[in-house]
Amino acid sequence: MQIGKPASPEELVDREDEVKSIVTKMKSKINYNIAVVGYRRIGKSSILKKAADILSKDDKTVVVYFDVQKFMGDPKSFLINLQSAIFNAYVKKLDKIGKLKAKAGKSFDFIGKIAEALSSKKIKGIGIEFMPGMSAEEFSIIPKIEFEDKDINYMPMFLAVFKTANAFAEKDNMKFIIILDEFQEIINLHRHKGLKNILELFRSIIQERGNNVSYIVCGSHVHLLRSILSNGKSALFQHFTELCVGEMNVKNSIILFNEYLTAKGLKTDDKIATEAYNLVGGQPYYLMALAESWEPGKKLSDVFGNLLSSSVGSLRLYAQYVLAEDIATAQGGPTLKSILEKLAVTDKGLSYSGLSKELRLPTSSIVPYMNELVKTDLIVKEGTVYKIRDNIVKQYLRLAN
Ligand SMILES: Nc1ncnc2c1ncn2[C@@H]1O[C@H](COP(=O)(O)OP(=O)(O)O)[C@@H](O)[C@H]1O
Ligand SMILES: [Mg+2]
């Protein structure tokens, strides 16, 4: 078990309902698209990996997993990496079901198959190269995309890359499932020529995907992803079924905590595991951080305090990272920080009038800041009051002041 990396399918604790819901929908005759929504490190990618593992066991299903955030640089590298993920998943499947000719000729065989599928769909400008490896079995598949030389309009290539999945699905009568993790990051492409209306482009891909391609988009920026997907004015409205990933229940939180202890070579301890749940809730990453630092004889509350207050404490570093990342995307400078600090010291939250009193600012001037903070997921509105959403961020802010 490694903190930070998505859990492998074998390590995944619980999440049976979520995995089953994804698998059932993807196998259904109704051609669903799914949006997996949940805050950072709640376990979304781990769930996706498990669902992908189950779905790809089927010989007629190709699962493409692509992390949008990881490859969000310039549009060129984004498209090449996405194309590479599609090619690789397809070739792997052809190989698995014995559709490629025997060993030495395999590489040439799939190049032919890919070229054929692309030309049957009139997809231009996309080709394939392969790099031989140490043996005939080892080689890498590298897409070749012909971008125009200068002043590139990326739109045709953006559409073409997604269309290759349709072409392969149709040619071999397969189902393609394309998972786009941290999907909200795709909006960063809008600055580039031809991609200004990136969400509308993506909608046209969804609409023309045919019957055998489905999309699963996933994201940690809940407010942003929801506003992209379910806002009536947005281009993607109504194309996705939402699956919300929340905290784990007590029973599974205890199992997760204990599994981490076992992986460290310690005995399981239900009492400590329950205490961990009471401190941080069913958030898998926080539970693992506690299990990582706890040892027999130590008080868990001390461990927790230390993780939050020591300069190298993992929870402190994590809270700092979240605050830095999220405040950077919001408009408002130091006032945002003051608002968060005021909210951190209450458990009941503060209304506009409460905040106005605390900050000595008129209510009307606070409104835009609050709207910005809600957009970042740092705060949530409950009835008429605002609260810090994440308990660890709240505890960190308390200690930091
Ligand atoms: N159900 C689970 N079983 C085991 N480990 C989990 C589970 N859910 C999350 N984790 C662990 O928690 C961390 C965050 O999970 P991840 O799937 O990357 O979250 P997200 O994609 O929502 O940010 C990872 O270290 C992962 O190994
Ligand atoms: Mg993830």
Q: What is the pLDDT of residues 55-91, one digit of tens each?
A: 999 999 999 999 999 999 889 999 999 999 999 999 8
Contact assessment for residue 74 and residue 192, using Cβ atoms and an 8 Å cutoff:
yes
Torsion of CA 165, 167, 169, 170, to 10 degrees: 160
Are residues 31 and 155 located together in one domain of the fold?
Answer: yes
User: What count of residues does the chain have?
Assistant: 401
List C-alpha distances in Å: 127 to 68, 110, 155, 202.
Answer: 22, 12, 17, 22
Are residues 213 and 276 located together in one domain of the fold?
Answer: no
Are residues 188 and 213 located together in one domain of the fold?
Answer: yes
Q: Which residues does a 6 A CB cutoff place in the pocket of ligand 1?
A: 3-7, 11-15, 38, 40-46, 220, 256, 284-285, 288
- Who's near 276: CB < 8 A, 6+ residues apart? 253, 257, 287, 290, 291, 294, 300
What is the SS3 assignment for 278?
helix
**Among 295, 319, 321, which Cα is nearest to 389's?**
319
Q: Report the pLDDT value the prediction gives residue 103, as an integer from 0 to 100.
A: 55
Distance of CA 44 from the midpoint of ligand 2 (Å): 6
The parent domain of residue 364 ranges over: 329-400
Q: Report the pLDDT value the prediction gives residue 13, as an integer from 0 to 100.
A: 97
Q: Report the pLDDT value the prediction gives residue 137, as an integer from 0 to 100.
A: 64
pTM of the model: 0.94
Dig out the tokens for 3 from the structure: 């903190």
Dig out the tokens for 47 from the structure: 């769930």
CB atoms within 10 A of CB 317: 15
DSSP 257: H
Distance of CA 114 from the midpoint of ligand 2 (Å): 30
Tell me, yes or no, whether 352 lies in a domain.
yes
Q: Report the pLDDT value the prediction gives residue 238, as an integer from 0 to 100.
A: 81
Write the CATH number for 232.
Answer: 3.40.50.300
Are residues 175 and 101 located together in one domain of the fold?
Answer: yes
Estimate to the nearest angstrom the gap between the alpha carbon of 128 and the chain centroid: 28
Question: How far is the C-alpha of 119 from the C-alpha of 98, rounded, in Å?
Answer: 23
What's the total number of domains in the chain? Answer: 3
Are residues 133 and 231 located together in one domain of the fold?
Answer: yes
Domain boundary among 213, 244, 275: 244
Q: Which ligand is nearest to the CA of 37?
A: 1
Q: Which ligand is nearest to the CA of 182?
A: 2
- The residue written with tokens 């993780």 in the block is 307
CB atoms within 10 A of CB 244: 12
Write the CATH number for 366.
Answer: 1.10.10.10
Ligand 1: atom nearest CA of 48 is 17
pLDDT tens over the chain, length 401 residues: 777 789 999 999 999 999 999 999 999 998 999 999 999 999 999 999 999 999 999 999 999 999 999 999 889 999 999 999 999 999 899 988 887 765 555 566 778 888 888 988 888 889 888 777 776 666 778 899 888 777 789 999 999 999 999 999 999 999 999 999 999 999 999 999 999 999 999 999 998 888 899 999 999 999 999 988 877 677 777 889 999 999 999 999 999 999 999 999 999 999 999 999 999 999 999 999 999 999 999 999 999 999 999 999 999 999 999 999 999 888 888 899 999 999 999 999 999 999 999 999 999 999 999 999 999 999 999 999 999 999 999 999 999 87
Are residues 83 and 217 located together in one domain of the fold?
Answer: yes
- Closest-CA residue, ligand 1 atom 23, reads 41
- Let me know if 120 is exposed, middle or buried by CB neighbors in 10 A (0-12, 13-18, 19+): exposed
Distance of CA 41 from the midpoint of ligand 2 (Å): 6
Top mutation candidate among 14, 37, 41 for ligand 1, by most atoms within 8 Å of CB:
41
Q: Report the pLDDT value the prediction gives residue 353, as an integer from 0 to 100.
A: 94
